Structure 1
């Protein structure tokens, strides 16, 4: 009998994306994000990103959730190396962020959106770290400006038990 690994989408979703295991999802988020982004409660959302027009691309996230303060989370597991995965991660983040705003709502109501991408391949060849966190900053000074954008990559191939 073969073992089922949490690296497989369906198993990952069953472990982290169901109400019965919400505590595991909270632990996964909190083990990944900074102290200021920790959650004590999450609501698991419909993973389908709605299409505005018939010719829009349909995207289905592995796990989509919102924390008690309104911060939004997308957690993805990706086994195979797909070209342009960085663009896919950013696209998913953009959908997660923009779907918050409804008609006549002020931009101030937008909450931070955090993408957590667990990869079973090496995506960031210029870093030896297995966990990288990306933000938008000013090129020369490193000054953060767009604080609502945060993308994490966790590259399992780089993880060492040491």
Structure 2
């Protein structure tokens, strides 16, 4: 019996981005982000569309976007091909999603934490992580927490 690779866009979204697979996403995030601690009990999968606030700002889509019980948002991308400037796209999409939380007149204290998880089938960041950023490595996995 042949199976579709979970690395494909369709399969990845079906496995992790479906309302029917929320428990799988919860287990996955607890394992990857929280070192197998049972921190996330509940989440809500939300629309992964990330429009520009004006028609001059680039639109973007995430493979999976979820709202956690504590108000944090998680965005997940699966990337098989190492396309040029992909690491810049990751940072741009996170910054845009983070900034899109506020409307005109809202204070910065309204900003909620964001977790961006990129699963790449290649080495994403070959350079040394900037001083001031925290990094945790386990095998081939590297978790970078940017100072947002």
Fold match by TM threshold 0.5: yes
| Aligned counterparts, 1:113-152, within 5 A | 113-125=114-126, 129-136=139-146, 146=147, 149=148
Q: Name structure 2 gaps, 5 residues minimum.
A: 129-136
Q: Deviations over 1:9-45 (max 9, x none)?
A: 1110011101110001111111111369932111111
Secondary structure in structure 2 of the residue aligned to 1:97: helix
**Distance between the aligned counterparts of 2:62 and 2:30, measured in 1?**
19
Equivalent pairs, count: 138
After superposition, the CA RMSD in angstroms is: 2.3
Corresponding residue of 1:142:
none
TM-score, normalising length from structure 1? Answer: 0.76
Question: Contact between 2:76 and 2:116, CA under 8 Å: does it hold in 1?
Answer: yes
**Distance between the aligned counterparts of 2:39 and 2:30, measured in 1?**
5
| Aligned counterparts, 1:1-162, within 5 A | 2-34=2-34, 38-125=39-126, 129-136=139-146, 146=147, 149=148
**Distance between the aligned counterparts of 1:90 and 1:122, measured in 2?**
16
Q: Name structure 1 gaps, 5 residues minimum.
A: 137-145, 150-162
| Larger strand share, 1 or 2 | 1
Moved more, 27-36 or 119-128: 119-128
**Distance between the aligned counterparts of 1:60 and 1:113, measured in 2?**
16
**Distance between the aligned counterparts of 2:66 and 2:77, measured in 1?**
12
TM-score, normalising length from structure 2? Answer: 0.82
**Distance between the aligned counterparts of 1:53 and 1:99, measured in 2?**
11
Deviating above 6 A after TM superposition, structure 1's stretches of 4 or more consecutive aligned residues are none
**Distance between the aligned counterparts of 1:55 and 1:96, measured in 2?**
16
